[in-house]
């Protein structure tokens, strides 16, 4: 069952959560701070930030941290995701994160990418990852 479109105020709140969360990033190597804010089906906002590691390859992106936190909190149904960084255009999720998002979200899942300058880009998951790997279809 498709969830209704988000209203403007909810999008704004989600974007602000992502912008705020990026300030918690652990990014001493790249200086590239990213925040993510995931809206659950029951209306909670669960956030994540990137967590870099001295070995680089172990670095976790903000989007995957948010999803892992949500799953650990018992949440698996999501309505939208906001991702924030300082870059212009705003940051797009990497391929690894898109695949992790696709584990829980349908092709129509909405994402908003934002930066502190107020730029916004809206996508559906399938715009960014048109042919996600799936072992089975989402229920
Ligand atoms: Zn990523």
- Answer whether the bond into residue 89 is a cis peptide, omega within 30°: yes
Q: Which of 9, 16, 63, 103 is catalytic?
A: 63
| pLDDT value, residue 139 | 63
Both structure tokens of 85: 């960084």
Question: How much is the pLDDT for 69?
Answer: 98
pLDDT at 6 (0 to 100): 86
Gap between the Cα atoms of 111 and 36, Å rounded: 10
DSSP 112: E
Transcribe 8-70 into DSSP letters: HHHHHHHHHHHHHHGGG-B-TTT----EEEEEETTS-EEEEE-B--TTSTT-B-HHHHHHHHH
Task: Please answer whether residues 48 and 66 qualify as being in contact, where contact means their C-beta atoms are separated by less than 8 angstroms.
Answer: yes
Q: Separation of 6 CA from ligand 1 center, angstroms?
A: 24
**CB 115 within 8 Å of CB 81:** no
- Ligand 1 centre and the CA of 5: distance in Å? 25
Cα-to-centroid distance, 1 and ligand 1 (Å)? 28
pLDDT at 4: 63
Whole-number Å distance, alpha carbon 4 to ligand 1 midpoint, is 27
Distance CA 122, CA 23 (A): 22
pTM: 0.93
Q: How many Å separate Cα 31 from the centre of its chain?
A: 19
> In angstroms, what is the span from residue 30 Cα to ligand 1's centroid?
14
pLDDT of 136? 78
Element holding 71 (H helix, E strand): helix 62-72
Q: What tens-digit pLDDT sequence spans the chain (139 residues)?
A: 455 678 999 999 999 999 999 999 999 999 999 999 999 999 999 999 999 999 999 999 999 999 999 999 999 999 999 999 999 999 999 999 999 999 999 999 999 999 999 999 999 999 999 999 998 776 6
- Select from 39, 51, 31 the least CA-distant residue to 10: 39
20: annotated active-site residue: no
- Taking the centre of ligand 1 as the mean of its atom positions, its distance from the CA of residue 24, in whole angstroms, is 16
């Amino acid at each position: 069952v498709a969830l209704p479109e988000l209203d403007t105020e909810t999008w704004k709140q989600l974007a602000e959560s992502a912008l705020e969360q990026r300030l918690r990033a652990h990014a001493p190597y790249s200086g590239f701070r990213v925040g993510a804010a995931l809206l659950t089906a029951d209306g909670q906002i669960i956030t994540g930030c990137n967590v870099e590691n001295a070995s680089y390859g172990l670095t976790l992106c903000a989007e995957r941290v948010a999803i892992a936190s949500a799953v650990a909190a018992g949440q698996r149904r999501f309505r939208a995701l906001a991702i924030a960084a300082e870059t212009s255009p705003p940051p797009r999720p990497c391929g690894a994160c898109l695949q992790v998002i696709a584990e829980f979200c349908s092709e129509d899942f909405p994402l908003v990418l934002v930066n502190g300058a107020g730029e916004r880009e809206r996508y559906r998951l399938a715009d960014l990852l048109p042919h996600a790997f799936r072992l089975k279809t989402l229920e």
